[in-house]
Amino acid sequence: MKYRSRKNRIVRRIVLAVCVLLLVGLVLFSYFSVTGVMLAVTEETMRARTTAAVNEAVFETLSGDVAYDDLVTVERNSAGEIRAMTADAYEINRIARDVAFLSQKKLQAMGEEGIRIPLGAFTGLEPLAGFGPTVTIELIPVAVVTCRFASTFTGAGINQTRHCIYLDVTAKISVVLPGRKSEFSTLSQMLIAESVLLGDVPDVYIHGDLFGGA
C-alpha cells in the first residue's frame, strides 16, 4: 500500500509538472502570436500615419507656392547658353527643416492617439486580425525625420531639358509596445518644382547632385 501511495504521488507530480509546462507553453505561444500580430497591425498603421503626416507637413510648408526660381538660379551667357546653375541653400535648408519639424510633431500627436486593434488580432491568427470590436492600444512612438533635395534631368524635346526637383523625406520610427519594440523606416518622395530649360545643360549638372545632399 505504501508503495502504491508513493507511486501515485509521483504520477500526480509528473502530471502536474506536464500541465504546468503545457500552460507555460500556451502562454508563451499566445504572447508571441498576439504581439506579432499587434506589431504587424501597429507598423502598418504607423506607416499610413507617417505618409499622411509627411504630406500634411509638406503642404503646410509649401502653402506659399514655392516656385522653381525660388530654389534654383540659372545663369546664361550672352548667347543664351546655360553657364551655371545655383541652388538657394537658405531656402532649401528652410524647407527641409520645416518639413522635418512639422512631420515629427504630427507623428508624435498621431502616436499619442493610440492604435485601434480589432479583438480578432488577440487570437494570434492573422486571418482573424481584422474582425471584432476594436481596442485602443497606447504606444510610445519615437520619430526621427530627415529631408534632402534631389533632382533629375530628362529630355523634353529638341534642345529642351526638364528639370524636376524632389524632396525626399525619410522617417525612422520606433514603436514601443508592452514587452516589444518595432523599428522601421519610410521614404516619401515628392515633386516640389519643375521647369523646362531651353538650351544645352552642362553634363556636370546632369550627372551630378545640384543640391549637394542638402
The average confidence (pLDDT) of the chain is: 75
Question: Model confidence over 2-12: pLDDT tens digits?
Answer: 455 665 666 66
Residue 124: per-residue pLDDT? 58
Residue 152: per-residue pLDDT? 83
Global pTM exceeds 0.85: no
Residue 122: per-residue pLDDT? 64
Is the pLDDT reported for residue 214 higher than 50? Answer: no
Q: How many helices (H) and strands (E) does the chain have?
A: 4, 7
Question: Model confidence over 159-186: pLDDT tens digits?
Answer: 788 888 888 888 888 777 666 677 888 8
Residue 19 CA to residue 205 CA, distance in Å, equals 72
Question: Model confidence over 23-44: pLDDT tens digits?
Answer: 665 555 555 555 666 777 777 7
Q: Where are the domains of the chain?
A: 2-206
Residue 47 CA to residue 161 CA, distance in Å, equals 35
Coil, helix or strand for 1? coil
Residue with cell 515629427: 104
Looking at residue 56, what DSSP letter applies? H
- Cell triple for residue 156? 523634353
Q: Among candidates 28, 37, 26, 43, which has minimal Cα distance to 123?
A: 37
* pLDDT (mean) for 52-56: 86
**How many Cα neighbours within 13 Å face the side chain of 168?**
12
Residue 3 CA to residue 34 CA, distance in Å, equals 46
Torsion sign across C-alpha atoms 84, 210, 191, 108: negative
| Number of CB atoms found within 10 A of residue 36's CB | 14
Residue 108 CA to residue 112 CA, distance in Å, equals 6
